[in-house]
Structure 1
Amino acid sequence: MNQTRVFLIFAWLMVAALLWMEWGKDKAAANAPVVAATQSVPAARDLDAAAPSANVPAAQAIPQAGVPGAAPATSTTAAPPAATDAAPVITLTSDVLRLKLDGRSVLDAELLQFPQTKDGTAPVSLLTEDAAHPYNATSGWASEHSPVPGVGGFRAEQPGTAFELAKGQNTLVVPFVWNGPNGVSIRRTFTLERGRYAISIKDEVINKSGAPWNGYVFRKLSRVPTILSRGMTNPDSFSFNGATWYSPQEGYERRAFKDYMDDGGLNRQITGGWVALLQHHFFTAWIPQKDQASLYVLNQDGPRDVAELRGPAFTVAPGQTATTEARLWVGPKLVSLIAKEDVKGLDRVVDYSRFSIMAIIGQGLFWVLSHLHSFLHNWGWAIIGLVVLLRLALYPLSAAQYKSGAKMRRFQPRLAQLKERYGDDRVKYQQATMELFKKEKINRWAAACRC
């Protein structure tokens, strides 16, 4: 009887799993956007020609040296950036990254250590200007009244369009500059390091004019997500795809692309956090300074899903300088490299679970698995070793269950006598059974598992 019940439970679970997978396929197909044959996605330069995506905070919402307020329901148009010619695309290459950027947006990023196929012909392009599914990272400035750099505003200080980390060097530093019309300039410095997927981007606002300059920095990740069809041979479809963010107050949170705006645009002021877009194996993230607050915003700009940081905002007096710095991660979900960034909560991008307790257990198991792999140099044997260790760790519990089960089997004749004695009086039968378990020190729960 018990074997039949177990079989039926497993059969029901399998049917439920198959129904859930089929329902997921139907839902994904129903939610897939219908794109006209003539429709095209605007390029990053066109999309970013104005200040931040969606609504721009009103002038009165930008406090001095603070963060811009939440976007009002009706858009307030900021002062347009100064018109400039398109800046040349600059290529920065380290041992792990090849970036194409215009000083404002990272238009393309190739991960040189990760080929797309086994033959290793072409590296993975995480950020891309692909016409159907563009994916870009942008950092710009916005202001209500003061001049700010627009698309093409930043120009490399050094001549040339390609800069590469030389052999024997550990750091590649490439400065850009924007010179405003009234003596205000912004110097932006990109720093790439050997073996590192985090790009340092430092901005210095230098005010040599005769009036205060007001503005705030914005940093955003935008992409047109790919609709993935579910399948047992497609692990990408089972991985989390969407935006995640972290705050010291609320901890780790996430929102899938398919539910991107279901809970609103976030609009939360956070100090010491980060925001990221996740996919299978890889992610991008903006990591601002720990001591500078930003307004975290999720929104949609046409077909693009956008995760954005607005702020900090600055009022720079004449003759003064303001500085802000952030890191842009473009790379794999490698725990060892993420840990080197020393960013609280960033290890959660390796998405073991949305539940903290399950994530902690998953992190612990992976830590053991990684150490076994470093010793055995084979993932298969490392997994076998982990299973053996888990069995050893759970042996006391298993031993107690087997002992209780053995006792239970020995007392089956006595239980049968009790059932015969009390007949249909289930209350007295249960009382007598409990007294027997207590007297003989039988764990009735473990025993029940072994019947």
Structure 2
Amino acid sequence: MKPNHIRILFLIAIGIMFISLVGRWEQTFPSNGNAQQSTSKQENSHYETSKSPNETVVANPGSKDNETFSDYAKSGVETINTKVFKDLQVSLLNGAIISASLKDYDVSLEDKSPMSLLTDKAGSQYIAKSSIVINKKPVSIRFENKGIKKQSNGIVLTLQGSVDGLEVTRTYAFDDNKYEIKIDQKITNTSNDSIGVIVDNSLVRDFDHDSDSFSLLNAHSYTFTGVAYSTVNDKFKKESFKDIAKTSKPSVVNNVGQGWVAFLQHYFMSAWIPQSTDSTIYYKKLSDDMFEAGEYTYNNIAPKTSVDVNSVFYTGPIIKTNLESLAPNLEKSLDYGMLSFFSEIIFWVMNEIHSLVGNWGLAIILVTVLIKAIFYPLSAKSYRSMAKMRMLQPRIKRMQETYKDDRQQLGRKMMELYKEEKVNPLSGCLPMVIQIPIFISLYWVLLESVQLRQAPFIFWIHDLSMKDPYFVLPILMGLSMFVQQKLSPAPADPMQAKIMMFLPVIFTFLFASFPSGLVLYWLTNNVISILQQWIITRSYKAAHTHKK
């Protein structure tokens, strides 16, 4: 097999295998770094109430919530609608947010109803709650609606309730155009004794392990589902639900400074962002398929005094510009993997082009043209090297025939030929090596950017983040690879030539499961490469013939 064929096969294979391995690594071993150094395991409880000499460890309320999911709806709900939320429901039991649908995101191409991110429906429960724990005892509060006020930019819901000497006033401030909710609580001790109060803001959700199985032919199985958090010491850490399910004890992360904790899934997230600087973050398994993550703060409230506990709750798409201003490192939830630096640049350029042309498929094509233009000097060098090798093929074949029984002598003669003609058979490798990170970076942009979710191109391509339903693009890509082979020097060995002929078929099969946007990029890249290679090869051949 000729060197240029070896490098094409090797580098493309390395690129695809690297994508698969990175996807598998990110799913199986999410970025935890030294999380174990700052994480302590609690046998029975995730509460660490050591902030006061008189304080003791709070007993675990149990492996499941004291209230069932159905209790929240039965206790009555207040429904909020904004420009981004449809039928967001706040239960009067503990003020839990038990339902939230996103108006700008459909369930699927076939189902145009708003996607439910939070829900209390059996089998897919996913809620946010703010619990009150008094002197080691979790309590339930039956709130009353004290009014819903419409403001110029949103809505404010006020709930009030009392329990065991505490009066709790909680407000939910909704901005009409934003996915974050400001939740402020004023907790008043109406008794004659000090009361130790924990405010525990958490997320609870069901998770189907079978739906998260990894498949080489399913690109979306590379995405992460689990817990993410940030502290001063751990800027951004992740723990998959599969890994959490393997432990029976809560994980508690001490925090000094503003942090946050979130549930991540493909394209979307929910996060609690405490406004205090001394919250404690935790995550744990409640049962085989139920998980909880949250943050809590402790306050010792003197008689007849009040404390304010303020938080921000975000539930919506993972969009960097939405997250940057909410908390440090929250934007890292948009995780493009190890090549995120390149991915962010590519997405920024794509987004700017999209703002002009209004079509993500066209933006991908134009980004590809731009990338090829930037790398043209290197590509031209590669194609000139291949053209030289093609011109030398007759002489190489004669050498192979002459020295077919002496491999060492053949090697020496070929090296002499390369030196005489000033040809480096591997000189074209560098451009390809440089472009592999671009390919992988774009892959993660297409896979992780919610803007590409259900983004149409033309005709039959209705979702660039999903595979081509009719496999037209993969077939065209395979044909383009075949044309590229015809422009390249052919292997002298007939068996190797047959193997090379099968490569387009193999890669067509592999790319058939890739996002159609990625296949569009690769097809466009191949077409431009074919044009560049044809022009350079023709001009080199003409110049070489004229010289002779």
Alignment TM-score, normalising by the size of structure 2: 0.60
Structure richer in helix, relative to its length: 2
Return closer, same or farther for 1:121/1:390 CA change in 2, 3 Å cut-off.
closer
Question: How far, CA to CA, are the matches of 2:426 and 2:327 in structure 1?
Answer: 44
Secondary structure of 1:385 counterpart = helix
1:334 maps to 2:319: yes
Letter in 2 for 1:363: E
Secondary structure of 1:95 counterpart = coil
Offset of 1:408 from its aligned partner?
Answer: 6.6
Which residue pairs with 2:171 in the alignment?
189
Which residue pairs with 2:253 in the alignment?
268
Secondary structure of 2:83 counterpart = coil
Q: Spell out, residue by residue over 1:49-99, the C-alpha distance to the aligned partner (whole angstroms, 9 max, x if none).
A: xxxx9943578x33149x997x8xx9598xx99xx9974222122221121
Q: Spell out, residue by residue over 1:201-231, the C-alpha distance to the aligned partner (whole angstroms, 9 max, x if none).
A: 1112223432222122111111111332667
Which residue pairs with 1:288 in the alignment?
274
Which residue pairs with 1:111 in the alignment?
102
Letter in 2 for 1:63: K
State which of 84, 93, 104 in structure 1 corresponds to 2:81: 93
Which residue pairs with 2:116 in the alignment?
125
Question: How far, CA to CA, are the matches of 1:58 and 1:268 in structure 2?
Answer: 11
In the alignment of these two chains, the number of paired residues is 393
Return closer, same or farther for 1:15/1:394 CA change in 2, 3 Å cut-off.
closer
Secondary structure of 1:344 counterpart = coil
State which of 182, 199, 210 in structure 1 corresponds to 2:192: 210
Kindly indicate whether the alpha-carbon contact (under 8 Å) linking 1:201 and 1:325 is maintained by their aligned counterparts in 2: yes
Kindly indicate whether the alpha-carbon contact (under 8 Å) linking 1:141 and 1:215 is maintained by their aligned counterparts in 2: yes
Secondary structure of 2:270 counterpart = strand
Offset of 1:198 from its aligned partner?
Answer: 0.8
Which residue pairs with 2:224 in the alignment?
240
Q: Spell out, residue by residue over 1:321-359, the C-alpha distance to the aligned partner (whole angstroms, 9 max, x if none).
A: 2222111111122334334x4422222323322x3xx12
Letter in 2 for 1:343: A
Q: Spell out, residue by residue over 1:396-427, the C-alpha distance to the aligned partner (whole angstroms, 9 max, x if none).
A: 3323434555667788979x99x99xx8779x
Question: How far, CA to CA, are the matches of 1:393 and 1:14 in structure 2?
Answer: 20
How well do the aligned residues superpose, as a CA RMSD in angstroms?
4.7
Return closer, same or farther for 1:76/1:348 CA change in 2, 3 Å cut-off.
closer
Letter in 1 for 2:145: A
1:220 maps to 2:220: no
Return closer, same or farther for 1:370/1:191 CA change in 2, 3 Å cut-off.
same
Of 250-259 and 301-310, deviating more is 301-310
Return closer, same or farther for 1:279/1:447 CA change in 2, 3 Å cut-off.
closer
State which of 375, 379, 384 in structure 2 corresponds to 1:394: 375
Secondary structure of 2:161 counterpart = strand
Q: Any gaps of 5 or more consecutive residues in structure 2? A: 29-41, 431-487, 490-548
Kindly indicate whether the alpha-carbon contact (under 8 Å) linking 2:43 and 2:250 is maintained by their aligned counterparts in 1: no
1:200 maps to 2:182: yes
Secondary structure of 2:356 counterpart = helix
Kindly indicate whether the alpha-carbon contact (under 8 Å) linking 1:224 and 1:305 is maintained by their aligned counterparts in 2: yes
Secondary structure of 1:131 counterpart = coil
State which of 238, 242, 260 in structure 2 corresponds to 1:254: 238
Return closer, same or farther for 1:76/1:63 CA change in 2, 3 Å cut-off.
farther
Which residue pairs with 1:153 in the alignment?
142
State which of 281, 286, 309 in structure 2 corresponds to 1:324: 309
Question: How far, CA to CA, are the matches of 2:46 and 2:292 in structure 1?
Answer: 16
Return closer, same or farther for 1:304/1:262 CA change in 2, 3 Å cut-off.
closer
Which residue pairs with 2:445 in the alignment?
none
Sequence identity, in percent? 22
Question: How far, CA to CA, are the matches of 1:364 and 1:292 in structure 2?
Answer: 33
Kindly indicate whether the alpha-carbon contact (under 8 Å) linking 1:140 and 1:218 is maintained by their aligned counterparts in 2: yes
Structure richer in strand, relative to its length: 1
1:176 maps to 2:159: yes
Offset of 1:121 from its aligned partner?
Answer: 5.4
Offset of 1:261 from its aligned partner?
Answer: 3.7
Question: How far, CA to CA, are the matches of 2:175 and 2:273 in structure 1?
Answer: 16
